[in-house]
Structure 1
């Protein structure tokens, strides 16, 4: 609760500071003047070198200084020696990024008293200069008096670990997906050229299956980062379960009885259909593994309303109507110690090599991404029950879910411009398209522009969206300035522009030869 209040406060104060500085009224540009009457929290406005530009009265009070004496000091002057690294990391990250930061550190008052402080920082712009707005809460007394302080620290560390995992996944995804594109693409090319009865064909099939498993693992890692940009749709959970029933039955096998109790009046929800399938798959696999000797698996849907009276695990949700999905098994269950860690990334009770420990962590990340929650109840020997809550959607179900494209030829003869700085991926895509009759011009991207043949007329430009966004936007503008009707296909490893403009699509890496040629053909066949 305290964290969410800080976020809201920072957003409001940030707007007030911007407005005041833009107005140029020197009498109202002090943080103290702006917020003292309305916001009792401690606030510092800090330059990116750590110099304190302004402080409100509350900040000055717990530092035991006059606000005028705080201004001009640097953060490292207020922090003890063992917190210097934390201060430097906070400032270094603020210089690199524009995201909210949360951390805990110690500050020293003028009398030498050390104060435990929970800090949330939001970058803001003042007079065209990037600044750091810091909202601080003195938690010294709370920590010393509250026996739950260790739980608070564990939750904070878990949040930071999840954030670090998301950054790691985003950082490696582009290069890793390029490598998977090459493995997937060339294995499919070789499979098409080998005798299906040969040993080489069987070996290639194993390579293709391994690359698919690696692709799925990258997708699970990216679920912790919001940079993967899944496309949400309005769906009915009952219909999804009905469509998914045969797949679920194959997963659990013949020894487990599958039961579905579906609310006929269930409202719709908004979520990425592919990600919803992933959540259902992960929960089903978890239930299957908990019932090695067979058992029963129940899927139950219901509409619920969350008001003020709700369990602590759901207090972060807004009040309102929700769709509740219950997934219950009568398997071996879990101890309280295991249940507490079941959603942690890479935590698993399975033997080495039998599980990644990402399935349930991914499920929770996806559910939370769409404003929902997931809880677990379990006892050893008494099975496990997961309850998932999704906010309802007012609009009707989208008419189409993503389905494989079949039934039309993927060949052509159009002129295609292929722009990708990864030479091997560019050569693979060019080879695939040329084999289908397309005329392909390859080009690397340098600084957001390429040398174009002034007389060439391209029907389609395929652009690697993993390159710096300003460079990609500059290239698209260059292409459409000379040829307004050109169609654009972005190849995105983990993030990319939304395909919300006419004649534009996004194809995720790693792609297969069939996926590339069919997407190209479908985009080219769109009417102008």
Structure 2
């Protein structure tokens, strides 16, 4: 090791010197006055400045804002403060790369007062930031999901009322067009709520085993129309990337949203490239995304040559309603929808600057087991005729406005309705053998007892009871219950026709 000037005291033997120089951890020894006795090469490289034995550590080795803190910490440690003493500093030569300085007592037999260790915490900070960002996004998602659930109840009630009012009027009536506009506005609100649910990872996905190359190639004509003639679309799709399990429609939505985002970042034209490839488990660590566990993944990269994303905004772009566009030119839900769909599908999404310009969005989905199963979706069942007249329905809904609208819709369709304000109120009705029930129509989220638990209790009393389960959203445990118990599932908001069709289908099954 090389210093600006020699220092006579060398309490360590040459073999120990050699050993310390081989360590990646920066170590230094100080005497009782805080003067440098010795240090290894890693310490010199870490602090990035000349050091002189027999002199205190130079205050200029850290940025001005951290000098007083370092000076105080060393003084406290030398004056008998409880050891170890630890603080985080920024080195003047590399202020963006913080170091943790730890001061402790030297090992027995070493003629020194203080042992100072420095370690690079960039990777630790990066992991902390990734975990904090994931926690923040999860909290925002829970909030968004709750808001979306409440709005879906409001939209369901509004849609039912508007449909009932329209049924009493004919085109050309004074307020017919106004009511039709209310229905259109209600649909727009439902679309926004749908995007919130996507971000909150509370959609009901129809997962299938698909080949990403097939999905992207199918989208090419639509993508070319969306991005326009000034932007060149190029594809590099690996034929052996492997299948993934996703909702194909939702994966298409992800690709379209990213393409539209890229288009808006290239108002003067440019290049949009979509790349797919396999990522084996042993290559995951090299990606640098510590939140990704080792596994086999299929990567989808969407790269543009646009204006790029400012570094200070990169952590915010997936938040709902965050947008850099002018007022009225975007909802701020496009990228948050991408985030929610990818996360709900078990994947990961990251953004980074392009090599020269623009942005790269990297999506990683767990590779599906190659079991030889068909990647084609099953054919949809034929729709049932909406003629449920005479069916006897137990309607369980805790929102009074929604319950009123649904009851009216069912009764207008010829259904005999018994209603309960929640699951606890419904149980005595189910236990009463004198009350005929052909179909149980119940909400998922209710106070006291949720819909899936009610279904389990009801089918214990009435085996095979047909069920229509409706909800503004479903948390993961409820979503599993939907698959296990529900004959039919209705996502709010829905209209009278969808409700009557679901009841008819449930009875027939």
TM-score bracket for this pair, using the shorter chain length = 0.5 to 0.7
Per-residue CA deviation, residues 405-447 of structure 1 (Å, 9 max, x unaligned), is: 8754212222211111212211212222233332222222263
Cα separation, 2, equivalents of 1:144 and 1:229: 50
Name which of 496, 513, 521 aligns with 2:504: 521
1:524–1:334 CA distance, 2 compared to 1 (3 A):
same
8 Å CA contact 1:328, 1:383 repeated in 2: yes
Cα separation, 1, equivalents of 2:214 and 2:172: 40
8 Å CA contact 2:303, 2:361 repeated in 1: yes
Name the counterpart of 1:508: 491
8 Å CA contact 1:334, 1:379 repeated in 2: no
Cα separation, 1, equivalents of 2:155 and 2:85: 50
Name which of 408, 411, 420 aligns with 2:387: 411
Name the counterpart of 1:187: 162
Name the counterpart of 1:4: none
Larger radius of gyration: 2
Paired residues in the alignment total: 394
Equivalences for residues 162-173 of structure 1 within 5 A? 162-173=137-148
Cα separation, 2, equivalents of 1:393 and 1:474: 31
1:284–1:435 CA distance, 2 compared to 1 (3 A):
farther
Name which of 432, 451, 458 aligns with 2:409: 432
1:241 aligns with 2:216: yes
1:289 aligns with 2:264: yes
Name the counterpart of 1:451: 429
Name the counterpart of 2:13: none
Name which of 454, 466, 482 aligns with 2:445: 466
Equivalences for residues 290-369 of structure 1 within 5 A? 290-308=265-283, 311-339=286-314, 341-369=316-344
Name which of 445, 470, 477 aligns with 1:491: 470
TM-score normalised to structure 2 length: 0.65
Cα separation, 2, equivalents of 1:401 and 1:190: 38
1:159–1:439 CA distance, 2 compared to 1 (3 A):
same
TM-score normalised to structure 1 length: 0.63
1:493–1:401 CA distance, 2 compared to 1 (3 A):
farther
Cα drift, residue 462 of structure 1: 0.2
8 Å CA contact 2:317, 2:335 repeated in 1: yes
- For residue 388 of structure 1, give the secondary structure of its aligned residue in structure 2: strand
8 Å CA contact 1:332, 1:380 repeated in 2: no
Name the counterpart of 2:182: 207
Cα drift, residue 519 of structure 1: 2.5
Gaps of 5+ in 1: 1-110, 118-138
Cα drift, residue 283 of structure 1: 0.8
Cα separation, 2, equivalents of 1:299 and 1:516: 41
Cα separation, 1, equivalents of 2:167 and 2:83: 73
1:490–1:334 CA distance, 2 compared to 1 (3 A):
same
- For residue 327 of structure 1, give the secondary structure of its aligned residue in structure 2: strand
Per-residue CA deviation, residues 322-355 of structure 1 (Å, 9 max, x unaligned), is: 3222323343434444445433444321123333
RMSD: 3.9
Per-residue CA deviation, residues 231-287 of structure 1 (Å, 9 max, x unaligned), is: 433222233334444554554456555554544444210123343233223212212
1:306–1:515 CA distance, 2 compared to 1 (3 A):
same
Cα separation, 2, equivalents of 1:392 and 1:167: 27
Cα separation, 2, equivalents of 1:499 and 1:476: 10
- For residue 348 of structure 1, give the secondary structure of its aligned residue in structure 2: coil
1:377–1:409 CA distance, 2 compared to 1 (3 A):
same
8 Å CA contact 2:347, 2:363 repeated in 1: yes
Cα separation, 1, equivalents of 2:234 and 2:176: 40
Name the counterpart of 2:455: 476
1:464–1:371 CA distance, 2 compared to 1 (3 A):
closer
